[in-house]
């Protein structure tokens, strides 16, 4: 069980539209960058359309991972500080308020994790992605099931953090 709270990977939040679907969103996450020679993720929605992009920008001491929307606009920046805690910084009118706590149970390596909020409600799940017919895809492809109570971008940021912490096969390089 992991508990994420305050100060290790800093997530700079850019507010997004909080009105969304009433049902869970199932994203397909592929550990492959759209940019040549970058590590990252490409995330598709249930219709097969590009939902998010994740790329690293490790240049001149700036160790930053950027979560972008489908158009390449930055939504969240993740900066490596340590690997113990995650904090979110509130909206622009209260940038110093650290307010969200997540608990993750399960195994990221096995692609079997549940993300719980501070009230112990399941807000997201990472699970193996299966092709039609029940055939499991490789470890570089997984499903991220996002409940309406969490911003899908925040759920994706948590997946990025887990990948940085626990994926021994490939890490964003310095």
Total of domains in the chain? 1
Q: Could you tell me which of 152, 163, 149, 15 has the C-alpha nearest to residue 89?
A: 15
Regions in the chain scoring below 50 on pLDDT = 1-19, 83-84, 91-92, 95, 171-174
Q: Is the distance from CB of 50 to CB of 43 less than 8 angstroms?
A: yes
Domain that holds residue 100: 2-166
- pLDDT one-digit tens code per residue, 52-89: 998 876 655 567 788 999 888 999 888 766 744 555 55
Report the alpha-carbon distance of residue 24 to residue 147 in Å, rounded.
4
Q: Could you tell me which of 125, 128, 163 has the C-alpha nearest to residue 31?
A: 163
CATH number at residue 95: 2.40.160
Residue 172 lies in a domain: no
Q: Residue 165 is inside which H or E element, if any?
A: helix 152-166
Residue 109 lies in a domain: yes
Residue 173 lies in a domain: no
Q: Is the distance from CB of 44 to CB of 51 less than 8 angstroms?
A: yes
Q: Tell me the β-bridge partners of 25.
A: 146
Q: Is the distance from CB of 26 to CB of 145 less than 8 angstroms?
A: yes
Query: What's the pLDDT at 40?
Result: 83
Residue 34 lies in a domain: yes
Sequence-distant contacts of 56-59: CB under 8 A, at least 24 apart: 56/172, 56/173, 58/172, 58/173, 58/174
Query: What's the pLDDT at 13?
Result: 39
Two structure tokens written together for 141: 């492809």
Report the alpha-carbon distance of residue 173 to residue 58 in Å, rounded.
8
Residue 174 lies in a domain: no
């Amino acid at each position: 069980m992991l508990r994420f709270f305050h100060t290790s990977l800093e997530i700079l939040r850019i507010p997004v539209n909080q009105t969304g679907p009433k049902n869970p969103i199932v994203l397909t996450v592929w550990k492959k960058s759209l940019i040549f020679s970058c590590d990252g993720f490409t995330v598709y929605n249930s219709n097969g359309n590009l939902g998010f992009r994740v790329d690293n920008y490790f240049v001149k001491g700036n160790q930053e991972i950027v979560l972008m929307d489908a158009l390449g606009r930055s939504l969240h920046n993740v900066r490596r500080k340590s690997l113990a805690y995650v904090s979110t910084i509130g909206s622009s009118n209260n940038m110093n308020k650290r307010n969200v706590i997540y608990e993750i149970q399960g195994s990221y390596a096995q692609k079997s994790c549940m993300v719980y909020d501070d009230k112990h409600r399941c807000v997201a799940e990472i699970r193996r992605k299966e092709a039609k017919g029940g055939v499991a895809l490789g470890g570089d492809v997984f499903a991220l099931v996002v409940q309406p109570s969490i911003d899908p971008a925040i759920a994706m940021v948590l997946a990025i953090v887990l990948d940085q912490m626990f994926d021994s096969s490939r890490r964003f390089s310095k």
